[in-house]
Amino acid sequence: MGRGEEDHGKREKISAASSKVENFPAWAKDVKQCEENYQTNRELGLSSAEVEKRREIYGWNELEKHEGTSIFQLILEQFNDTLVRILLLAAIISFVLAWLDGDEGGEKEITAFVEPLVIFLILIVNAIVGIWQESNAEKALEALKEIQSEQANVVRDGKKVSNLHAKELVPGDIVELRVGDKVPADMRVLTLISSTVRVEQGSLTGESEAVSKTAKVVPENTDIQGKKCMVFAGTTVVNGNCICMVTQIGMNTEIGKVHSQIHEASQSDDDTPLKKKLNEFGEVLTMIIGVICALVWLINVKYFLSWEYVDGWPSNFKFSFEKCTYYFEIAVALAVAAIPEGLPAVITTCLALGTRKMAQKNALVRKLPSVETLGCTTVICSDKTGTLTTNQMAVSKLIAMGSRPGTLRAFDVEGTTYNPFDGKIRGWAADEMDANLQMIAKICAVCNDAGVEQSGSHYVATGMPTEAALKVLVEKMGLPEENGCSSGHGDHQRCCQAWNKLEQRIATLEFDRDRKSMGVIVNSSTGQKALLVKV
**What amino acid positions are annotated as catalytic residues?**
383
Compute the Cα dihedral for 39, 42, 48, 51 and give only its sign.
positive
| Residues contacting residue 255 through CB under 8 Å, at least 6 positions apart | 63, 144, 147, 148, 203, 204, 232, 233, 234
Nearest to 212 by CA among 222, 226, 191, 193: 226
Number of helices followed by number of strands (H, E) in the chain: 16, 18
- Name the amino acid, one letter, at 211: V
Q: How far is Cα 273 from Cα 234, in angstroms, rounded to an integer?
A: 35
Question: b/e for 278-290, b at 16 or more Cβ within 10 A?
Answer: beeebeebbeebe
Q: How far is Cα 231 from Cα 186, in angstroms, rounded to an integer?
A: 6
By residue count, the chain amounts to 535
Which residues does residue 248 pair with via DSSP β-bridges, in sequence order?
186
Q: How far is Cα 509 from Cα 373, in angstroms, rounded to an integer?
A: 49
Nearest to 68 by CA among 149, 131, 146: 131
Q: How far is Cα 373 from Cα 290, in angstroms, rounded to an integer?
A: 31
Q: How far is Cα 430 from Cα 479, in angstroms, rounded to an integer?
A: 6
Contact 124, 344 (CB under 8 A): no
Q: How far is Cα 524 from Cα 530, in angstroms, rounded to an integer?
A: 6
SS3 168: helix
* DSSP-assigned letters across all residues of 46-90: B-HHHHHHHHHHH--SS---PPPPPHHHHHHHHT-SHHHHHHHHH
* Spacing of C-alpha 135 from chain mean position: 16
Q: What are the two backbone dihedrals, phi and then psi, of residue 42, each rounded to the nearest 5 degrees?
A: -65, -25
Q: How far is Cα 342 from Cα 358, in angstroms, rounded to an integer?
A: 24
Give 270's DSSP letter: P
What region, left, alpha or beta, does residue 106 occupy, with left being phi > 0 and alpha being psi -120 to 50 degrees?
A: left
Which residues does residue 230 pair with via DSSP β-bridges, in sequence order?
188
| Residues contacting residue 197 through CB under 8 Å, at least 6 positions apart | 177, 189, 212, 213, 214, 237, 239, 240, 241, 242
